[in-house]
Amino acid sequence: MSLSAFLAQHRRPGAILVTLTHAAGSTPREAGAAMAVSLNATAGTIGGGQLEFHCIDMAREMLSSGERERSLDIPLGPQMGQCCGGRVQVSLRRATSTDLAMQVARERADAEARPAVLVFGAGHTGRALVEALALLPFRVMLIDDRDGVMDGLPAAVTCIRMADPVAALATAPAGAAHVVLTHSHALDYRLTEAALQRGDAAYVGMIGSATKRARFEAGFLRTGGRREALSRLACPIGGADVDDKRPEVIAALTAAELVRSLLRKPEASRGAGAEERAGHDATA
């Protein structure tokens, strides 16, 4: 449950909004991380462990006593039972209607700012991948040209049926990730070519084998594609160090690859260079 939904649900008898206002050194979460606490439930997390347990206890004391606001300055050392070594400052205050409105606005802005991931193909691997991505801070779109293959997926996944999925590339957001794993090799090639030709994708991945990649590269170059664009292609997707072609495993490996591509720190991106990507031979 989102923090805004939790706060709305617990307006009576009330909830305490717990926010990390400052984090220095090694800490389990960053400044701005928040959770909400009622007398018998919680939503969100400030990092778990003894820090979180302590803040939950403090919040419930406040709810019972009627106290409206409290500030904590906590070193994360032996006294707290955590060995992080950092220090956090925590704000605890009874949530108001203004806090609820601010949380709704914050969540809306966060959703709009999330990186977009376009997954082409609702086969076994495509469905497993979007189910994994639905739990992560991405805007996830699943695109397929068939009827009845996108039922029963998480609400966080936007399902789009298109007669020609390649048309989705024309309106895709800049900096999006494009993961291609359709039921057709020919369609895979068209989608991957269009994604690479955009030149602004944060990630372009195509499911398949080393042989499939070689055939795609030959055709891409033959029709005028630039060789440097091929360095941005992840094919096969996933990781070469795990020899397991089950859809759920490929989905987990690819989700991790997307996290590294879309959420890595700027300094890590600058130092990464042109990483060689590898993965598994599999079909969607």
Q: Are residues 159 and 208 in the same domain?
A: yes
Whether 22 and 56 map to the same domain: the answer is yes
Tally of domains within the chain: 2
What does the pLDDT read at residue 276?
Answer: 40
In a domain, 283, yes or no: no
* Whole-angstrom distance, CA of residue 61 vs CA of residue 57: 6
Residues in Cβ contact with 66 at an 8 Å cutoff, skipping those fewer than 6 apart: none
Question: Is residue 61 in some structural domain?
Answer: yes
In a shared domain, residues 93 and 175: no
Chain segment 50-79, per-residue pLDDT in tens: 999 999 999 999 999 999 999 999 998 776
Residues 142 and 105 in one domain: no
- Domain edge (last residue) among 95, 110, 125: 110
CATH no. for residue 199?
Answer: 3.40.50.720
- Predicted local confidence at residue 161, as pLDDT: 97
Residues 169 and 145: beta-carbon distance below 8 Å: no
Last residue of a domain, one of 76, 110, 144: 110
Q: Per residue in 11-51, pLDDT tens?
A: 888 999 999 999 999 899 999 999 999 999 999 999 988 99
Domain hosting 156: range is 114-272
Residue 135 in any domain: the answer is: yes
Q: Mean pLDDT score of the chain, rounded to an integer?
A: 90
Residues in the chain: 284
In terms of domains, do 187 and 75 share one? no
Give the residue from 100, 277, 267 showing the smallest Cα distance to 203.
277
Residue 277 counted as domain residue: no
Residue 281 pLDDT greater than 70, yes or no: no
Does the pLDDT value for residue 151 go beyond 50? yes
Model's pTM, two decimal places?
Answer: 0.82
Q: Both 14 and 71 in a single domain?
A: yes
Let me know if residue 68 belongs to a domain: yes
Among residues 58, 78, 110, which one ends one of the domains?
110
pLDDT of 68 reads 96
Clarify whether residues 151 and 195 are in a common domain.
Answer: yes
Whether 280 is covered by a domain: the verdict is no
pLDDT on residue 36: 97
If asked whether residues 163 and 268 sit together in one domain, one would say yes
Residues 47, 120, single domain; the answer is no
Shared-domain flag, residues 101 and 232: no
The encoded tokens of residue 140 equal 């996830």
On whether both 91 and 171 belong to a single domain, the answer is: no
Confidence (pLDDT) at 270: 45
In a domain, residue 279? The reply is no
Give the pLDDT confidence of 203-259 residue by residue, as tens digits.
999 999 889 999 999 999 999 999 999 999 999 998 677 888 899 999 999 999 999
Comparing CA positions, the residue from 221, 214, 199, 15 lying closest to residue 100 is: 15
Amino acid at 250: I
Side-chain half-sphere of 46: how many Cα atoms within 13 Å?
27
Say yes or no: 133 and 227 in one domain: yes
- Rounded CA-CA distance 164/157 in Å is 20
Which pLDDT score is estimated for 77? 76
Pair 199, 233: CB distance under 8 Å:
no
